[in-house]
Amino acid sequence: MIEKYKHIIWDWNGTILKDVNLCVELINWLAQSRALPEIDINRYREVFTIPVKNYYAALGFNFENESFEKLGKIWMDEYERRKFECNLYEGVTDLLNKIENAGIGQSILSAYSQHTLDELVEHYGLKKYFTHVVGLDNIYAASKMHLGKDLMKRLGNGKGETLLIGDTVHDFEVASEIGADCILLASGHQNKKVLLECGVQVCDSILELL
């Protein structure tokens, strides 16, 4: 199905980088010190959303006591310290190679901060696959809609020529807004039940795409 596209836009966190377990650990670490209940990975995938501020609120964090900006900075500092503990999803490199060998362009579009995104793409040896690596200019993961619109202008593709692969409802929303088709993966930050409500194809993993 991928062969018909001119360009594939990849999300990063939860799509290429397997960081969900670390994210659950870190939100529980924040919750413990604020007398909030811990969550497991299933609960995390039910409540996670973008903008991330809404997900913090759903878990009971009180922004009157501590601003979201302060909480987000604490979380991200610890994530940055531990980010290299994460691996790539099984099958990612094989699929990137297949797409490249088919002569299809590839880019990354992420709500992750640009500096760290560049660092990680380089660390995992993936830079060679992507013509554009696009992230936010801050750490708060509010939205990447404007980045997606800019990327599509640069690509210059028509309707039906671009596919976005992601793991969240926000990825679907971005794809819809920028005129790209969308496939969602249920192995990332939101569960399959949530993703199926978008009405697009949902795969259990990268291996299913392969």
Whole-prediction pTM: 0.92
State the total domains in the chain.
2
Say yes or no: 121 and 167 in one domain. Answer: yes
Span 181-207, average pLDDT: 97
Decide if pLDDT at 141 tops 90: no
Say yes or no: 189 and 157 in one domain. Answer: yes
> How much of the chain exceeds pLDDT 90, in percent?
75
Domain range for 114 is: 2-18+86-209
What is the rounded CA–CA span in Å between residue 63 and residue 49? 17
Span 161-176, average pLDDT: 95
Of 32, 60, 85, the residue at which a domain comes to its end is 85
Say yes or no: 103 and 169 in one domain. Answer: yes
Q: What's the CATH number where 162 sits?
A: 3.40.50.1000
Tokens of 41: 């990975």
What is the rounded CA–CA span in Å between residue 17 and residue 9? 15
| Cα 159 off chain centre by | 23
Say yes or no: 107 and 200 in one domain. Answer: yes
pLDDT of residue 143: 54
Decide if pLDDT at 15 tops 60: yes
Dihedral sign of CA atoms 125, 128, 130, 134 in order: positive
